[in-house]
Copies of this chain bind each other. A is one copy, B any other.
Amino acid sequence: MELPNRWLNDIVWDDHGLVPVIAQDAATGDVLMFAFMNREALALTAERGEAVYWSRSRRKLWHKGEESGHTQKVLEIRTDCDNDVVLLKIEQTGGIACHTGRKSCFFQRLGESGQWEAADPVLKDPKEIYG
């Protein structure tokens, strides 16, 4: 879809020109991952209907799934009351968002004993995903 870019101006970018992004499974409501976008990444995400993030470690655009095949089809783009966070409602290709081979990156739960516990299973060996 061809969108005028005015909506991008409404976003409050941080000092590094980035905005935090939450990706949520549109069907289940599961929060799958958290990453950042710059203006170009968000524009591309809207244009393609697939999530494109900004990799802070590699300092480049990161088309999610470019290596793993686990792309994210974007069904809805939201922002919050301060316009400084983006929420994507997505369809997660392969049902795996995390590089550990799990559905969601948020698989560690604080247990009663005061320790982080892996609460969700590995669905696919990362070695198989990334070869």
- Please state if B29 and A30 are interface contacts (CB–CB under 8 Å): yes
For A85, the chain B residues whose CB sits under 8 A away are: 34, 105-106
- Please state if A77 and B24 are interface contacts (CB–CB under 8 Å): no
Point out the residue from B20, B46, B98, B105 that lies within 8 Å of A34, measured CB to CB.
Answer: B20
For A83, the chain B residues whose CB sits under 8 A away are: 108
Distance, CA A106 to CA B6, complexed state (A): 19
Judged by DSSP, the binding face of A is: loop
Chain A interface residues toward B at CB < 8 A: 1, 3-7, 10, 20, 22, 24, 28-31, 33-34, 46, 76-83, 85, 87, 98-100, 102, 105-110, 112, 114-116, 119
Sample of 18 A–B contacts (CB below 8 Å): A3-B114, A6-B115, A20-B34, A24-B31, A33-B80, A34-B80, A76-B109, A77-B110, A78-B109, A78-B110, A78-B119, A79-B106, A80-B105, A80-B107, A80-B108, A81-B98, A85-B105, A85-B106
